């Protein structure tokens, strides 16, 4: 049984693990919060079970009480569900939606595994990590994994979906000095507006010799599309804009440079495919998880981390102009990014799941 919330950062690695376990003949069920049911038709699971969960949105007694009541309801639902399905292992992918299934599994005596996608252990996961059987990490060094928690931690990497693994087969081809420069810009639902406001004026400020080389693919919110399209047209820049790209891994593989946020799944996919990136971490995050993710990639030489408060359109223009004239720097960053990738992460995580399942999993498979 896999437990993941409705955000891509939690759901994508769960999706990848479900694909791998299915290849191994394991039946998979997904438990998700009420946001996640929209993924039901595409998630490779036998069934998708929505249960109640809540994120703590404040420290007032009322906010804490409301969250506690919702989570308690979710634990009751998950306890009953686990009793019916009798999973060999329950795997949580972090955040408060993992609370009910993992706590219920512990009450039922079922082995539990928690996967942390980021380079810092999140607040909800700090509480969960003390209670699970094992913890899987995406980075060899994960901040706040220490003491008793470190003793149960296993480095696996962050699993990527099959479509990402397939895109990773395309080698990086640096742009010619005067050739086409493919730029991919995306930031998820939380970050796309910032890039819609910042990137078009930055690219407009580039020398004309660079602008005419650009082919931009950019994710924009629906309400921002027309303004961004107009801005690029005025600058004479070829651009393909959309709120969502189903084939994003393939587009990433064709990119010479990526500008984006530093969510865990973004960094995992960038490094498995091996593409250089200017990463702009989402500011004001409680745990600075994106800053930690971006810093790790920048330290490896696989990209450049620039905090949003430091990134003006002028600075972004200068960075892109420099890289556009330095294909060797782009190639070196692509290679460094690729070295950080863990294409075998899903196999390593599935191995750990089966290790925890032990005889339980074998009996379940035989019975199935």
pLDDT of residue 10: 86
Q: How many helices (H) and strands (E) does the chain have?
A: 15, 13
**Contact of 52 with 80, CB cutoff 8 Å:** no
pLDDT of residue 8: 73
Q: Tokens 């801005």 map to which residue?
A: 231
- Indicate whether 334 and 356 sit together in one domain: no
- Indicate whether 13 and 138 sit together in one domain: yes
3-state secondary structure of 146: coil
Select from 262, 263, 342, 324 the least CA-distant residue to 298. Answer: 262
Q: From its phi and psi, is residue 236 left (phi > 0), alpha (psi between -120 and 50) or beta?
A: left
- Indicate whether 170 and 142 sit together in one domain: no
- Overall size of the chain counted in residues: 368
CA angle 170, 172, 177 (to 5 degrees): 140
Strands of 277-279's sheet in order across: 238-242, 214-219, 181-186, 257-260, 277-279, 303-305
- Indicate whether 154 and 173 sit together in one domain: no
- Indicate whether 132 and 199 sit together in one domain: no
Query: What is the Cα gyration radius of the chain?
Result: 21
Query: Which parts of the chain sit beneath pLDDT 50?
Result: 37, 39-41, 362-368
**Contact of 99 with 67, CB cutoff 8 Å:** no
**Contact of 237 with 248, CB cutoff 8 Å:** no
**Contact of 364 with 27, CB cutoff 8 Å:** yes
3-state secondary structure of 87: coil
Pairing of strands 238-242, 303-305: unpaired
- Indicate whether 298 and 268 sit together in one domain: yes
pLDDT of residue 47: 94
Q: Which residues contact 22 (CB under 8 A, 6 or more apart)?
A: 28, 44
- Indicate whether 356 and 230 sit together in one domain: no
Select from 72, 70, 89, 80 the least CA-distant residue to 132. Answer: 89
Total tally of structural domains belonging to the chain: 2
- Indicate whether 256 and 310 sit together in one domain: yes
DSSP assignment string, 119-143:
SB--HHHHHHHTTSSEEEESSSS-B
Select from 260, 265, 263, 225 the least CA-distant residue to 242. Answer: 225
- Indicate whether 100 and 236 sit together in one domain: no
Q: How many other CB atoms sit within 10 Å of the CB of residue 339?
A: 12
Task: In whole angstroms, give the CA distance from residue 317 to residue 185.
Answer: 14
pLDDT of residue 368: 42
Question: Cα 310 to the chain's mean position, in Å?
Answer: 24
Burial label, 215 (beta-carbon count in 10 A; 0-12, 13-18, 19+) = middle
- Indicate whether 314 and 363 sit together in one domain: no
- Indicate whether 289 and 360 sit together in one domain: no
Select from 287, 5, 343 the least CA-distant residue to 142. Answer: 287
3-state secondary structure of 227: helix
- Domain boundaries, position 89: 2-160+343-367
**Contact of 145 with 292, CB cutoff 8 Å:** no
Strands of 153-155's sheet in order across: 47-50, 29-32, 2-3, 90-92, 112-116, 134-137, 153-155
pLDDT of residue 367: 41
DSSP E strands, the chain: 2-3, 29-32, 47-50, 90-92, 112-116, 134-137, 153-155, 181-186, 214-219, 238-242, 257-260, 277-279, 303-305
CA angle 259, 348, 36 (to 5 degrees): 60
CATH code for position 97? 3.40.50.2000
- Indicate whether 261 and 197 sit together in one domain: yes
Query: pLDDT digits over 7-59, tens only?
Result: 778 889 999 999 999 999 999 999 998 765 454 448 999 999 999 987 777 77
Tokens of 32: 């998700």
């Amino acid at each position: 049984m896999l437990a993941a919330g409705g955000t891509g950062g939690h759901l994508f690695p769960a999706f990848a693990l479900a694909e791998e376990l299915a290849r191994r003949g394991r039946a998979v069920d997904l438990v998700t919060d009420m946001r996640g049911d929209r993924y039901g038709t595409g998630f490779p699971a036998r069934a998708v079970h929505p249960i109640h969960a809540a994120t703590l949105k404040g420290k007032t007694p009322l906010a804490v009480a409301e969250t506690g009541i919702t989570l308690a309801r979710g634990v009751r639902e998950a306890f009953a569900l686990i009793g019916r399905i009798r999973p060999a292992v329950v795997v949580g992918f972090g955040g408060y939606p993992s609370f009910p299934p993992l706590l219920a599994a512990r009450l039922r005596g079922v082995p539990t595994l928690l996967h942390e996608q980021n380079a810092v252990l999140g607040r909800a996961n700090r509480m969960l990590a003390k209670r699970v059987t094992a913890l899987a990490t995406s980075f060899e060094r994960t901040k706040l994994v220490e003491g008793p928690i470190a003793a149960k931690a296993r480095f696996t990497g962050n699993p990527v979906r099959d479509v990402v693994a397939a895109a990773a087969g395309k080698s990086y081809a640096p742009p010619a000095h005067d050739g086409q420069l493919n730029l991919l810009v995306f930031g998820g639902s939380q970050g796309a507006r910032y890039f819609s406001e910042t990137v078009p004026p930055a690219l407009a400020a580039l020398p004309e010799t660079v602008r005419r080389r650009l082919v931009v693919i950019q994710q924009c919110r629906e309400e921002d599309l027309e303004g961004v399209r107009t801005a690029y047209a005025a600058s004479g820049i070829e651009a393909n804009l959309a709120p969502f790209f189903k084939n994003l891994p393939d587009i990433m593989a064709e990119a010479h440079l990526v500008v984006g946020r530093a969510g865990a799944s973004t960094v995992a996919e960038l490094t498995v495919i091996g593409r250089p990136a200017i990463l702009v971490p989402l500011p004001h995050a409680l745990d600075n998880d994106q800053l930690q993710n971006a810093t790790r990639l920048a330290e490896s030489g696989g990209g450049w981390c620039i905090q949003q408060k430091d990134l003006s359109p002028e600075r972004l223009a200068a960075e892109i102009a420099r890289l556009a004239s330095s294909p060797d720097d782009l190639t070196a960053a692509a290679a460094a990014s690729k070295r950080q990738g863990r294409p075998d992460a899903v196999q390593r995580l599935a191995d750990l799941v089966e290790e925890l399942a032990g005889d339980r999993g074998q009996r379940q498979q035989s019975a199935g």
